[in-house]
Amino acid sequence: MTRVLVADDHPMIAAALDVLLRGTEYELVGRARSGADALAQVQRLRPDILLLDVNMPDGSGLDVLRQLRETRRAPATILLTAGMEDPQLVAANALEPDGIVLKTSDPAHLLECMQHVRKGERWVDPEVAERTRDAMDRAAAAPSLTPRERELIELVRQGLRNRDIASQLGVTEGTVKVYLHAIFDKVSVDNRTELAMRAKELLGG
């Protein structure tokens, strides 16, 4: 039997996975409800496969994956997600999980993925693979931002006004306006609200 640990804070998903894996060659050995809980249970239960949700409280799935990559006896990890934004996809891909499955795809994909991972092969949901490729292409074609521009976008994302940004960066309010307009042109947005909404994508997560 292959020992499986589920880390997902949604009871509906955890219960459904329990039912889905019942009577198969997989044994559900435990369930974690947060990132920190997942790390603790991995240490305690030593599962063969970790089914890991991306958006969880107290440490996201990507944080857990990052920490597991640094340990020697880490389980094979399958990211199970209901939907990731493009920057998250790129970041997840860089961490090289053993599998990525969308909760919104055909549930048969999960079992297929687990079969491959059990044999030591990598399996990524076709939709995720395609979106990751597109996101990476876009990131490569995207305008490069200077450290100062990235800093400014971060401050806009935090909802600071021009006056506050100016005092934080030690420049005049006029300079902040000039910088902002240059950024608007560079990343093709019309206003600071749009910039704040795209900040995550522009800054890469």
Q: Which residues bind other proteins (CB under 8 A)?
A: 10, 12-13, 15-17, 19-20, 22-24, 55, 82-83, 85, 103-108, 110-111, 193, 197
Neighbours of 134 (CB within 10 A): 12
Residues linked to residue 6 through DSSP beta bridges, in sequence order: 31, 51
CB of 74 to other proteins, least distance (A): 25
Q: Which is nearer to other proteins, 14 or 68 (CB)?
A: 14
Question: What's the DSSP call for residue 59?
Answer: S
Q: Which is nearer to other proteins, 68 or 84 (CB)?
A: 84
CB of 14 to other proteins, least distance (A): 8
CB of 38 to other proteins, least distance (A): 17
Instruction: Give CA–CA dist 156/151, Å, rounded.
Output: 9
Q: Which is nearer to other proteins, 105 or 168 (CB)?
A: 105
Q: Which is nearer to other proteins, 15 or 94 (CB)?
A: 15
Question: What's the DSSP call for residue 121?
Answer: -
Q: Which is nearer to other proteins, 122 or 163 (CB)?
A: 163
CB of 197 to other proteins, least distance (A): 7
Per-residue b or e along 20-35, where b marks 16 or more CB atoms closer than 10 Å to that residue's CB: ebeeeebebbbbbbbb
Question: What's the DSSP call for residue 182?
Answer: H
Instruction: Give CA–CA dist 16/12, Å, rounded.
Output: 6
CB of 200 to other proteins, least distance (A): 10
User: In this structure, are strands 49-53 and 99-102 parallel, antiparallel, or unpaired?
Assistant: unpaired
